Amino acid sequence: MIDGHIFPLFGAQLIARPSGILWWADERILCVSDLHLGKSDRMARRFGVLVPPYETTDTLQRLQLEIEFLKPAVVICLGDNFDDLDAANSLSLTDRQCLSQLHAGREWIWIEGNHDPGSVELMGQHLTEYKFAPLVFRHIAKVGAEAEVSGHYHPKAAMRVRNNSIVRPCFLYDEKRVILPAFGTFTGGLRTEAVEFKTLMQSVAFAVLIGNKSYVMPMPRE
Amino acid sequence: MMEHQNASAALLIAPTGSGKTMAGFLPSLVSLVEVPRQGMHTLYVSPLKALAADIKRNLLTPINEIGLDIRVEERTGDTSATQKKRQRVDPPQILLTTPESLALLTSYEDISRMFSGLQRVVIDEIHALSESKRGDQLMLALAAIHRICPILRRVGLSATVKDPSLAAKFLSYNSNHCEIIKLDTEAPADVEMLQITETAPWMGSGGSYAIPAVLREVAKHKTTLIFHNTRAQAELFFHNLWLANTTNLPIGIHHGSLSREQRQRVEQAMVKGELRAIVCTGSLDLGIDWGDVDLVIQIGAPKNIKRLVQRIGRANHQYDVPSKAKLVPANRFEIVECIAALQAVQENDLDCDDRGAGSRDVLCQHILIAACAGAFFSDELYLQVTSAGSYSDLSRKAFDDCLDFCATGGYALKSYDKWQRLVLSNEGKWHLRDPRAAKRIRMNIGTIQDAELLKVRIRGRSGKPLGEVEEAFAATLVCGDTFLIGGQIVRYEGLRDMTVEVSRKTSGKPKIATFSGTKFATSAQLSHRMLAYFQKKDWPELPCYVRKWMELQREVSRLPKVDRLLVETFPNEGRSASVFYGFAGRNAMQTLGLLLSKRMEDAGLNPLGFVATDYAVMLWGLEPLTDPSSFLNPVGLRDGLETWLSNNAVMKRTFRSSAVISGLIERNLPGNRKSGRQATFSSDILYDTLLKYDPSHVLLQITREEAMKGLIDFGRIEEMLGRVSGRIDHIVLDRVTPFAAPLLLEMGKVPVKGQAEERLLAEETARLMAASGLDKI
């Protein structure tokens, strides 16, 4: 039994893993969004701010754990895989080696995001979106789309329990789509109450809070 | 003052209202009259913008009356850009500024030209500055200026200093001699407890039980200042005061989180004498003379004698008339604390707090500022830095670590070769790799953590914001939460464009406190006085119910002593509770609680949680404590501290502030705040990453240094263990004692973490699914 919250999307049985990975067991597809690899590099280059340069390694290590455990046939990186294209091209040798090890023996699909439009010098397919019936994978959700898997917004949910405030990254899903949380170590989040989600999500929608375990709840709204 | 005008440094200690500020300026005015000259002659630094404005008015009066040709100008965050530019080209003879604006000035390449010829610097309210990082920043900026003006004379002004030699060390340049000039003390203050017929509550800090008595005093006086220790308490009290204010006395509120417009409205009304009372916080602590204040009321124990003296001084700002003040303790322990504070004030026994060495995050900022002003040799900068009193003991290694941090990030993984902030030139000077970085560095100058504030607005209405709340507080809000701001109850509606949107709510109880800010801890001096007071035979000055409470405690258990530690263990609600009466101040007692719960967990006592006050910490768990002394050995506690330190919220908070000051993260990364929340990630993530991959990084070292001084306050725990030195009285009882009872009611219980949050999450998400009927789908 694989840990996580199981839910259907147009007939596909998906698992929202506590790590933030989406797992489609029947097709052995692992989907991950918003890795933002090379963020510290871009911050140094663009803003002259020297934050700890360890986040790419950390993100890849966590991804590696999931890949080793789930042994996917296909890995789909849902966009904003790199903090920008220069960051993609200046990954350290160790990080590159780690990526090619992860890639070995499986299909790897890079979907472009707003941070990384265009292809990078890394193995794998580079696409703007990817269809695998019945689902379609793209970076930014489209209003009116169906059976859609996307990322981009870095959703997080907040709640107050017995005077404790708990904020966690989360998946959002309804009968039409699922939006993935950001997987990158240096990423923040957008609260589910935000106006963006109002137009995207149906009136019946769920948030799957992640961390040690996956917890499902009705999507918090205003 | 004229006698000492040639001293290279002088500290003038004189009571409020004695005209010490004017005395500080006198030698400047005389010199400028005798030898009229252009260019900057005297620099005046004050901790408050408002105080600089006030001083300008007071200086201009004699200058205009006598018809002197002396230009006096302010330069603060409120000064216009054109004015600032003009000042750099043509500086006034007397420039009035704040530590932040001065630091900013020293970051310009033309610093030498602007300050050339500077003769004197006058630092007002030096005690207020020397207690914080703002003082470190000021002294580093002065060290930079001193290099340009070797004959610079320094004058420090202060009303309340316990140990003048510490303030003198802080002020002096290169450990040179600093003269101390002490004026006679003022007329003894007329300070006493406010007579309140209502009984003080067991616990709490709001003081709302005293509202009828406070209103009676307000009605009897011209203008009353009602001081609170925190903004949240001020808000709550103001709200309740208005509910009880049946005769509609004009009463305002003033604190640092209100919008500038709102504060200025209150200040103007106060000057015109339109307000009968102002509910306020530290924002009105220092020497500003607005209006005709004839009474000061302090709500809650003052926690610190110096602060109390400072506040008392706000009433009757005249040298020879005693200030009138009344104290309102918020609970029973505070009644004792207030009595102790009254005695200390009568004996003029101020608390002494040496902040210790200058903070290294401020040093990192200073290094970046120096680089903005031009290339430098590291040897020279080291000499300059160590000429400042609080950095005189800084080792070269500690300095070099900071320099390396500024230049390369200081990471074990050297990955920023291409993007170094500072690079070494062929001649061995450090300079900015990208000169455009100077602009961004300047934007981040300062040590006050005020950038994380969000404006609060009524939804759907443009116009002035109601005020500001801390971003961290805003992050905890959930739609429908109600809180107080500017005395009104508002309902949280959402976050939009970095503004907290709220709607007005006319009734109901505010759900949560507005500010998560830290509380003052009771000073060591006051704590010792309280412990000594308990040992008296009788306490005739106390209200009857408090006396009985203390007598009963003496009967069923013991009263805490200075040289012994009282520990009580008793069953409570099916759990075993233990109370340690350490009297080491809130922060240290909180730390002790965390350390003890960790050690009890290791010993299998299954602690469930604890709660700390300034006086004691209570822990509860499944097994009773049998031998407290085994948990209190200093070595064990220190070891526990090492492991526990790394992963806790206090450290993360301290890290955030040090990371901003040292320039690791910027207050406002361009593009971040505007483009939406998902682009920003919290500094906690940086902390966790650093701890995992680079645990000996200099910023983690700095965080530890700062946490030990501040929120962790381990020094006070060691002080307590020292005075107790193993003499522990463990009393086992079958029920709660009179002194322990208030702790059962204390807010802010800390659960011993672990599976607690996961359990809460599981429960609550399941409940929400069931409540919405969605669990059936």
Q: Would the pLDDT of A101 be above 90? A: yes
Provide the mean pLDDT of chain B.
Answer: 84
Helices first, then strands: H and E counts in chain B? 28, 26
Phi, psi of B388 (to 5 degrees): -80, 135
Characterize the bridge pairing of strands A164-173 and B488-496: unpaired
Cβ of A160 and B476 within 8 Å?
yes
- In chain B, residues under CATH classification 3.40.50.300 are 2-182, 190-346
Cβ of A218 and B670 within 8 Å?
no
Spatial separation of the C-alpha atoms in residues B638 and B16, rounded to whole Å: 43
Provide the H-helix boundaries in B197-331: 211-220, 231-244, 260-271, 305-312
Q: Would the pLDDT of B722 be above 90? A: no
Q: Would the pLDDT of A176 be above 60? A: yes
| CA-based nearest distance A220→chain B, Å | 9
Helix (H, G, I), strand (E, B) or coil at B282: helix
- Least confident span in A83-87, B245-249, B519-523: B519-523
Which stretch, A52-66, A153-167, B453-467, has highest mean pLDDT? A52-66
Asked whether B186 and B729 are in contact (CB, 8 A), the reply is no
Q: Would the pLDDT of B730 be above 80? A: yes
Spatial separation of the C-alpha atoms in residues B283 and B50, rounded to whole Å: 10
- CA-based nearest residue in chain B for residue A169: B678
Q: Would the pLDDT of B60 be above 80? A: yes
Q: In the structure, what pLDDT confidence band is assigned to residue B324 with cuts at 50, 70 and 90?
A: confident
Smallest CA-to-CA distance from A50 within B715, B422, B644, B233 is with B422
- For residue A62, how far is the Cα from the chain centroid? 13
Q: In the structure, what pLDDT confidence band is assigned to residue A178 with cuts at 50, 70 and 90?
A: very high
Q: Please tell me the predicted confidence (pLDDT) of residue B475.
A: 65
B261 part of contact set with chain A, CB < 8 Å: no
Q: In the structure, what pLDDT confidence band is assigned to residue B578 with cuts at 50, 70 and 90?
A: very high
Q: Please tell me the predicted confidence (pLDDT) of residue B775.
A: 75
| CA-based nearest distance B765→chain A, Å | 5
B498 part of contact set with chain A, CB < 8 Å: no
Q: Please tell me the predicted confidence (pLDDT) of residue B679.
A: 54
A220 part of contact set with chain B, CB < 8 Å: yes
Residue type, B81: A
Is the peptide bond prior to A134 cis by the omega test (within 30 degrees of 0)?
yes
- Residues of chain B in contact with residue A193, where contact means CB-CB under 8 angstroms, are 479, 494-495
Characterize the bridge pairing of strands B422-424 and B482-485: unpaired
Q: Would the pLDDT of B644 be above 80? A: no
Q: Please tell me the predicted confidence (pLDDT) of residue B673.
A: 43
- Least confident span in B364-368, B444-448, B484-488: B484-488
What secondary structure, in 3-state letters, does A97-120 show? Answer: HHHHHHHCCCEEEEECCCCCCCCC
- Residues of chain B in contact with residue A47, where contact means CB-CB under 8 angstroms, are 440, 666, 669-670
- For residue A137, how far is the Cα from the chain centroid? 11
Q: In the structure, what pLDDT confidence band is assigned to residue B516 with cuts at 50, 70 and 90?
A: very low
B774 part of contact set with chain A, CB < 8 Å: yes
Provide the H-helix boundaries in B388-493: 396-408, 437-443, 471-476
Residue type, B236: L
Asked whether B514 and B526 are in contact (CB, 8 A), the reply is no
Q: Would the pLDDT of B141 be above 60? A: yes
- Our CA dihedral for B163, B168, B170, B176, rounded to 10 degrees, sits at -150
Of chain B, the percentage scoring pLDDT greater than 90 comes to 34
Between residues A175 and B180, the one the model is more confident about: A175
Q: In the structure, what pLDDT confidence band is assigned to residue A5 with cuts at 50, 70 and 90?
A: very high
**Span A201-217, average pLDDT:** 94
The domains of chain A are located at 5-218
Q: Tens digit of pLDDT for each residue in B520-575?
A: 788 888 999 999 999 999 999 999 999 999 999 999 999 999 999 999 999 987 78
> Which residues, numbered 372 to 411 in chain B, qualify as contacts with chain A under a Cβ-Cβ cut-off of 8 Å?
408-409, 411
Q: Please tell me the predicted confidence (pLDDT) of residue A164.
A: 59
Q: Please tell me the predicted confidence (pLDDT) of residue B512.
A: 58
- For residue A99, how far is the Cα from the chain centroid? 16
- Residues of chain A in contact with residue B476, where contact means CB-CB under 8 angstroms, are 158, 160, 165, 167
Of chain A, the percentage scoring pLDDT greater than 90 comes to 75
**CATH homologous superfamily of B190-346:** P-loop containing nucleotide triphosphate hydrolases (3.40.50.300)
Q: In the structure, what pLDDT confidence band is assigned to residue B683 with cuts at 50, 70 and 90?
A: confident
Q: State the CATH class of domain B2-182.
A: alpha beta
Q: Would the pLDDT of B675 be above 50? A: no
Q: Please tell me the predicted confidence (pLDDT) of residue B461.
A: 72
- CA-based nearest residue in chain A for residue B434: A48
Q: In the structure, what pLDDT confidence band is assigned to residue B290 with cuts at 50, 70 and 90?
A: low
Burial class (CB in 10 A: 0-12, 13-18, 19+), B181: middle
Q: Please tell me the predicted confidence (pLDDT) of residue B498.
A: 66
Between residues B765 and B250, the one the model is more confident about: B250
Provide the mean pLDDT of chain A.
Answer: 92
- Residues of chain B in contact with residue A185, where contact means CB-CB under 8 angstroms, are 685, 689
**Span A68-88, average pLDDT:** 94
**Span B682-698, average pLDDT:** 89
Q: Please tell me the predicted confidence (pLDDT) of residue B1.
A: 63
Asked whether B447 and B362 are in contact (CB, 8 A), the reply is yes
Q: In the structure, what pLDDT confidence band is assigned to residue B676 with cuts at 50, 70 and 90?
A: very low
Q: Please tell me the predicted confidence (pLDDT) of residue B618.
A: 94
Q: Please tell me the predicted confidence (pLDDT) of residue B197.
A: 86
Q: Tens digit of pLDDT for each residue in A122-144?
A: 888 999 999 999 999 999 999 99
Q: Please tell me the predicted confidence (pLDDT) of residue B451.
A: 43
Q: Please tell me the predicted confidence (pLDDT) of residue B670.
A: 42
Tokens of A207: 């948030």
Enter the CATH code of domain A5-218: 3.60.21
Q: Which helix (H) or strand (E) holds B139?
A: helix B133-148
Smallest CA-to-CA distance from B286 within B627, B98, B572, B48 is with B48
pTM over 0.80: no
Between residues B101 and B489, the one the model is more confident about: B101
> Which residues, numbered 145 to 204 in chain A, qualify as contacts with chain B under a Cβ-Cβ cut-off of 8 Å?
153-154, 158-162, 164-168, 182, 185-191, 193-195, 204
Q: Would the pLDDT of B671 be above 60? A: no
Which stretch, B58-72, B521-535, B697-711, has highest mean pLDDT? B521-535
Q: Please tell me the predicted confidence (pLDDT) of residue B674.
A: 37
Asked whether A35 and A111 are in contact (CB, 8 A), the reply is no
Q: Please tell me the predicted confidence (pLDDT) of residue B638.
A: 75
Q: In the structure, what pLDDT confidence band is assigned to residue B471 with cuts at 50, 70 and 90?
A: low
**Span A93-122, average pLDDT:** 90
Of chain B, the percentage scoring pLDDT greater than 70 comes to 86
Tokens 């291409």, located at residue: B418
Q: Please tell me the predicted confidence (pLDDT) of residue B519.
A: 62
Q: Please tell me the predicted confidence (pLDDT) of residue B754.
A: 47
